[in-house]
Amino acid sequence: MRYAIVTETYPPEINGVALTVQGLEDGLRQRGHEVTVVRPRQASDDEGSTRSDTLLVRGAGLPRYPGLRFGLPSPLALREHFRHCAPDAIYVATEGPLGWSALRTARRLGIPVATGFHTRFDHYMSDYGVPWLQPVALRWMRRFHNGGDATLVPTLELGQWLEEQHFTKVQRLARAVDTSQFHPGFRDANLRAQWNAQDDTPVLLSVGRIAAEKNLGLAVSAFRALQQQRPQARMVWVGDGPERAALQAANPDFIFAGMQRGQDLARHYASADVFVFPSRSETFGNVTLEAMASGLATVAYDSGAAREHLRTGLHGAAVQDDAAFIDAVLALGTSAGRWRAMGAAAHTAVQALQPAQVSADFDVLLSRLARQRKEHAHAVPA
């Protein structure tokens, strides 16, 4: 089969959407399919290094997010590309201008399209001080996704909510985690020594974009509450974003590790003790599974990956409100025995979530869309 993937974010950009898209692409290739990728040109791209199976289009910088770009509408380039590579089905991962352009072009050419629902833009409206735009954002997302042949979501919870909001073609595609990359065996005593943390020093870890929509003030409050009982506690931040400078200036005792990739990221996960994820706007939260696979007791809101996989009292806590979040961090951070036992249980719990199964499910879904479109095309003349 031939597939095309359209996305406005892609590695080396680091975010959940980019890494998920790359994982889906790699999985399809490993299953023997031809895959082309359409994405905005990045600063690291040059003419000599561009792969023949990649179409680069014009993009523009994303305000307040240095290093991230969104794709500009490219109907002519997309039409020529889709006619040339003749995909059996297309996956459009993002709802930006490039995504809209790809969706419209595919519909004109009669190519089936699956869209990915990765981001709750309606939640972001409140986080950035414009809550009256929430219904506008929701209508915009609904119109986009209902224009495709399937809307892929990572959890049953999200799928049910979207159906209640009149999204009409919702299908679940589960997420997985690479348990060979994220593993307790990467715990590094030297890294902990750099953090000035002894073996029984509670180290809290946050991984992700340092931005307003991540509700990071709650993580700060939880850490400060723990610090009153365990003064030697450490707070480590992995990632970057528009709020980092202010957060760092206000909290000079915090450890900011910046962006980490590959084995370095795995070492940071495994060398901490408690993972804190206070975001209330996630569709999934890949970092939750990465932390659990790394052997960390985890505290997160009861939604997305936490709703699907995190069991309160066994792997950490999936909470409903800020007070419960802080209480859970205190309960874990004041007991090394508790955080170690729950971290070990979390690691065991995600071992069955293998990327190969997600790739197989994704393949089946796209091939079914292609088959249905061909059957419909043959039936119309009759």
Position of tokens 């932390």? Answer: 291
Rounded to the nearest integer, the mean pLDDT of the chain is 91
Taking only the tens place, the pLDDT of each residue in 188-200 is 999 999 999 999 9
Backbone torsion region of residue 173, taken as left when φ is above 0, otherwise alpha when ψ lies between -120 and 50, otherwise beta: beta
Task: Note the pLDDT tens digit of each residue in 87-135.
Answer: 999 999 999 899 999 999 999 999 999 999 988 776 666 666 677 777 8
CA distance 181 to 65: 27
Pairing type for strands 2-6 and 59-61 reads unpaired
pLDDT digits 0-9 by tens, 262-321: 999 999 999 999 999 999 878 889 999 999 999 999 999 999 999 999 999 999 999 999
Q: How far apart are CA 151 and CA 171, in angstroms?
A: 6
E-strand stretches of the chain: 2-6, 34-40, 54-57, 59-61, 69-71, 89-92, 113-116, 150-153, 170-172, 203-207, 234-238, 255-258, 274-277, 297-301, 316-319
Q: What is the pLDDT of residue 119?
A: 81
d(CA 267, CA 134): 38
Write out the two tokens for 241: 């974003």
In tens, the pLDDT along 330-344 reads 999 999 999 999 999
Indicate the pTM of the whole model: 0.87
Q: pLDDT digits over 13-28, tens only?
A: 888 889 999 999 999 9
- Which residue is associated with the tokens 């500009």? 72
Share of the chain above pLDDT 90, in %: 78
3-state secondary structure of 219: helix
Phi and psi at 109, nearest 5°, equal: -90, -5
Domains, the chain, with CATH or none: 2-176+354-379 (3.40.50.2000), 184-349 (3.40.50.2000)
At 14 the pLDDT is: 82
